[in-house]
Amino acid sequence: MTSRIKISSFFDGGNITVIDAAEPDNIRVSIPKDTESDFFQWFYFRLQGGMGEECIIHFENAKDAAYSEGWEGYQAVASYDREHWFRVPTQYEDGILTVAHQPEQDSVYYAYFAPYSYERHLDMLSWASSHEDCVTHHLGETAEGRDITLLEVTKTQGLAKNIWITARQHPGETMAEWFVEGLLERLFDESHPVARAMLKQCRFYIVPNMNPDGGVHGNLRVNSKGVNLNREWKRSSQENSPEVLAVQKKMAEVGVDMFLDIHGDETLPVNFVDGCIGVPNFDARMEAMETLFSQTLLAVSPDFQTDIGYEQDYFGEANLSVASKWVGNTYRCLSLTLEMPFKDNENLPDEEVGWSPERSKILGADVLYPIYQVINSKHMS
């Protein structure tokens, strides 16, 4: 007799391997590796046939994931309608991650974080470019042939500060593209004073998805060539990292006055930024802008903090193959990696949804406040 449980993942971003689904209360799965890579951590699948039963799902290879400490205190997300994602009871023990959930519907999705599909990405580009202040640019294509698209947003034809924002170099960090969606909604709000003021002063260059191939494949870290784009900025190539090469080329063409690279962090349960302290060209002006940025964001968002973050690099030791370090060093501008949690912001936790698309969008909108302060500070004159 066969199980009624059906697990499927053959859709955009889907990622799981079923070992055994004969018994709902002992479903055994493993997370497939990223394309041409040993990294893995992203999972996303649909479970049918479990309505009303306690479904217990064991991720048997969890301990070998890219960030096994990411499973500590982590709760998986689930959705019936593919719009609202909520947390479900999850624990990590003896190297196995276990989700226990009794679905209320016959069809339910589970994921590492709320997905952001390539179709939604294309919808966002179309929606954005339909606004009068926005045009799209084709920067190039991925190894598999997907478009790398840049959004340019401004109200001015003249001289302006160039604010660059990139997201999803690591394709499984979908919160980064939700963040961009929120930032764009704010920029397009014709009544918002900060958006109105900034679009007269600035030209935003936004790449909402640096790694569409990896996103479609359900990868955590790499593109379809198995390459981690955020280690390619010193050695980008058409062969391995056309996504980075295309962006660097456009940066060289128009210039960079500020750069934010948006990420998700598997381990730390907070939002934070990482600056350029260890890059060769780091100076007092860059440091002052980093401080002003952080202090302003702190003042407007209890979802941001500065106590916890990455260890700071010593002078000259920063890894210039990382996007924010390379850009900061090259353009001597404010250049930050902004990290959001896969887990929750432990300073303002939300038991139902944890860190979420909605909260990512608000942070994306709120990041305009520190950008605005820095742009109008003495450091930019």
Binding positions for a copy of itself, rule: CB under 8 A:
6, 8, 10-12, 46, 48-49, 51, 79-82, 105-107, 109, 117-120, 122-123, 125-127, 129-130, 135-138, 141, 144-147, 149, 189-194, 196-197, 296, 299-303, 345, 348, 350, 356, 358-359, 361-362, 369, 372-373
Q: Is 137 in contact with 250 (CB distance < 8 Å)?
A: yes
Please indicate whether residue 266 is annotated as part of the active site.
no
- The type of residue at 253 is E
- Nearest CB to a copy of itself, comparing residues 150 and 333: 150
Q: Which two tokens stand for residue 218?
A: 């359900």
- Nearest CB to a copy of itself, comparing residues 122 and 277: 122
- Nearest CB to a copy of itself, comparing residues 56 and 300: 300
Neighbouring C-beta atoms of residue 10, cutoff 10 Å: 7
- Nearest CB to a copy of itself, comparing residues 194 and 320: 194
Q: Which does 252 bind (CB under 5 to 8 A by kind): a copy of itself, Ca ion, none?
A: none
Q: Which does 118 bind (CB under 5 to 8 A by kind): Ca ion, a copy of itself, none?
A: a copy of itself
Residue whose entry in the numeric block shows the structure tokens 């998700």: 264
Q: Which does 299 bind (CB under 5 to 8 A by kind): Ca ion, a copy of itself, none?
A: a copy of itself
- Give the separation between CA 158 and CA 61, rounded to whole angstroms: 55
Strand partners, 29: 18, 59
Q: Which does 316 bind (CB under 5 to 8 A by kind): a copy of itself, Ca ion, none?
A: none
- Nearest CB to a copy of itself, comparing residues 311 and 352: 352
- The correct pick among 134, 187, 276, 318 for binding Ca ion (CB under 5 A) is 134
* Strand 17-20, strand 27-30: pairing: antiparallel
H-type alpha helices, the chain: 118-129, 175-187, 193-201, 212-217, 242-254, 284-300, 323-331, 357-366, 368-375
What is each CA distance from 225 to 150, 195, 337, 380, in whole angstroms?
22, 38, 24, 39
- Nearest CB to a copy of itself, comparing residues 319 and 347: 347
Residue of 290, 339, 351, 352 marked active site: 339
- Give the separation between CA 146 and CA 212, rounded to whole angstroms: 7
- Give the separation between CA 220 and CA 66, rounded to whole angstroms: 9
Q: Is 124 in the site for Ca ion (CB under 5 A)?
A: no
- Nearest CB to Ca ion, comparing residues 151 and 336: 151
- The type of residue at 204 is F
Q: Is 129 in the site for Ca ion (CB under 5 A)?
A: yes
Residue whose entry in the numeric block shows the structure tokens 């589970």: 110
Tell the smallest beta-carbon distance from residue 350 to a copy of itself (Å): 8
- Give the separation between CA 341 and CA 215, rounded to whole angstroms: 18
Q: Which two tokens stand for residue 332?
A: 């001597």
- Give the separation between CA 284 and CA 282, rounded to whole angstroms: 7
Tell the smallest beta-carbon distance from residue 303 to a copy of itself (Å): 4
In sign, the C-alpha dihedral spanning 214, 220, 226, 231 is positive
Q: Which does 239 bind (CB under 5 to 8 A by kind): Ca ion, a copy of itself, none?
A: none
- What SS3 class is residue 63? helix
Q: Is 323 in the site for Ca ion (CB under 5 A)?
A: no
Neighbouring C-beta atoms of residue 254, cutoff 10 Å: 12
Q: Which does 277 bind (CB under 5 to 8 A by kind): a copy of itself, Ca ion, none?
A: none
Q: Which two tokens stand for residue 12?
A: 């955009």
- What SS3 class is residue 4? coil
* Residues annotated catalytic, as ranges: 339
Binding-site ranges for Ca ion (CB under 5 A):
129, 134
